[in-house]
A and B are shown apart, each in its own frame.
With several copies, the nearest count.
Chain A
Amino acid sequence: MKRLLNDGYDAVEEMLDGYVKAHGDVVKLAENERVVVRTELSTEPKVGIIFGGGSGHEPLFLGYVGEGVADAAVIGNVNTSPDPMACYDAVTAADQGKGCLFLYGNYQGDVLNFDMGAEMAADDGIRVETVLITDDVYSAKDKADRRGVAGDVIVLMAACAVANTGADLDAVKAAAEKANDNTYSMGVALSSSTLPVTGEPIFEIGPDDMEVGMGIHGEPGIERKKLEPADAVMDEILDIVLPDMDLKSGEEVAVMINGLGGLPLMDQYICYRRVHDVLTDKGVTIAKSMVGNYATSMDMIGMGVTLVRLDDELKGWLNAPFNAPYLVQ
């Protein structure tokens, strides 16, 4: 597929430059140009929330830096964890004296780099805690081993809602963990994304095929099969996710349909419709719905369903006021 770029090697830097120029009232680049940070941190010091990962998932992560949302985002190369210096510099930029929380998807590259950043910050006497996001049901059997996909946004919302109350690092971390424990996602991809540097897709996929369980980086999923109608695909996803999270009649959830970039909103709402109908039939109440491109893979055609098991506390966190360019409520 086609992109509208200059030299692909400059894409990340140019995007970041464009982003802070467009949203200069909300964010700026820190001295480290891979760190997007709020132009002004809160007047009341709070736990610094640092959200990050590779680029190519926009609006994830940078779009969620703003008032009451993340304090900083650390951005890596496309599909690639940020480097340790950037992780460290994000701490320096976001710390307000109450320590910082790293929130990122559970990928080995990210763990390696963020951990090194956290060690450097610890040397400076800044406490940094980490919550790895592990919502992608299809990626591993054990919840703790799973990778993070669109659930990143859910966990971020919970952490930020609590951080905004002035809570301490342990409480904020606990909120993020609670949100992560209750968040389950699964997706399908119909195409590969197109890499800026090569202008080529990451993988080939037949015109009638889809990849089930595809991550948001273009890592192969678990199964390749014939593309089916939207309702059938949603049913298949729910047949895996609902038993996995053991969702029961009478429970309450938040539903997110996450577009991977190239899938029209029309299709996303058609997918949402089916999920809504199936859950409603099952006696599950949908207390919050989010549909759109929350965590993309550039131009990848595909989507994921994220379900969050709610209790009153989590519901409150997800309905808190946020004001970042890509998360306002």
Chain B
Amino acid sequence: MADFDRDYFIAVFRRMAETAETNRDEWTRLDGDIGDGDHGINMSIGFREVVKQLDAIPDDTDIAGTFKLVGMTLLRKVGGASGPLYGSFFMKAGAEVADQTEVSFDDLRRMLRAGVDSIQARGKAQLGDKTMLDSYLPGLDVLEAADAADPGAALTEFVARMKQGSDDTIPLVAKKGRAMRLGERSVGHRDPGSQSSWQLMNCFVEELAR
């Protein structure tokens, strides 16, 4: 199986931007139920700027630099809780592969783990707090346990498990983020960040399958 190059990641990021646009109103609606109804909008604002930045990205930007650019752009443009969380996710993921022009599947798993670690370091949430970590954490475990011989299958399982994790947020009482103030009233609603995160990660799969 071939390694992942810069063009692959750029294509993934463009696909993420489309995903953010397509799901904007859905994420916003989910956030309206238990948050402040801006999640989809802010992700859309952020990824619109990501596309602008990618359109002008210097040819000599490597993979780490591309991830940094995306992370910084989200950090600058998204705001709220998800701006710093998604921002450091991408920045830290990229920092794992400094100076590489291609990354292996194992590198990619390391990158995603580093990204998720940084979400946890910044946001201090635990599994079961009804946040995007409820998608990422079980998903990553599956990804890391998967057979490295078939990255496509492994990433597909990863995203499927993330989606399952997002479904599993529905019955939870929120313990972090804006929804935490709702207490029991957050039960019965999906966490918006858990939804956006599996849908964004799904872009790795879709771009591979293309």
Q: Report A-B touching, CB under 8 Å.
A: yes
Q: Please give the residue numbers on chain A whose beta carbons come within 8 Å of chain B beta carbons, in ascending order.
A: 9, 54, 76-86, 107-109, 112-113, 116, 139-140, 147, 195, 197-198, 200, 202-203, 215, 217-220, 222
Given contacts A77-B42, A84-B84, contact A140 B181 (CB under 8 A): yes
Task: Count B-side interface residues using an 8 Å CB cutoff.
Answer: 36
Residues of B bordering A, CB below 8 Å? 24-25, 28, 32-38, 41-42, 44-45, 48, 75-85, 122-123, 176-179, 181-183, 185
Say yes or no: B38 contacts A77, CB within 8 Å: yes
Chain A: CB-nearest residue to B185: A220
Taken together as a complex, chains A and B put the C-alpha atoms of A320 and B29 apart, in Å, by: 43
Determine which of A79, A108, A113 lies in contact with B37 in the assembled complex, contact meaning CB atoms within 8 Å. Answer: A79
Residues of chain B contacted by A116 (CB below 8 angstroms): 84
CB–CB A82/B37 < 8 A: no
Complex contacts, B48 vs chain A, CB 8 Å: 9
Contacts of A195 in B (CB 8 A): 28, 37-38, 41
- List 14 A–B pairs whose Cβ atoms lie within 8 Å, in order of A's numbering: A9-B45, A77-B78, A79-B36, A83-B78, A107-B178, A108-B178, A109-B79, A140-B181, A147-B181, A198-B41, A203-B37, A218-B36, A219-B181, A222-B185
Residue of A nearest to B85 (CB): A112
Select which of B38, B178, B182 is within 8 A of A78 by beta carbon: B38
Taking a contact as CB atoms under 8 Å apart, the answer to whether B36 and A219 are in contact is yes
- Chain B residues near A147 (CB-CB < 8 A): 181
CA distance A77 to B40 in the complex (A): 12
**Which B residues are CB-close (under 8 A) to A108?**
81, 123, 176-178
Q: Is the CB of B36 within 8 A of A202?
A: yes
Q: Are B83 and A81 in contact (CB under 8 A)?
A: yes
Inter-chain pairs besides A77-B38, A220-B33, 9 sampled, C-beta below 8 Å: A9-B48, A77-B45, A80-B79, A80-B80, A80-B83, A108-B178, A112-B123, A215-B36, A219-B36
Task: Report Cα–Cα, A208/B198, bound state, in Å.
Answer: 37
CB neighbours of B28 from chain A (8 A): 195, 198
Contact B44 A85, beta carbon cutoff 8 Å: no
Partner of B32, one of A83, A112, A140, A203: A203
Residue from B37, B79, B85 whose CB has the most chain A CB atoms within 10 Å:
B79
Nearest chain A CB to B194 CB, angstrom units: 16
- Chain A residue numbers with a CB within 8 Å of B33 are 203, 220
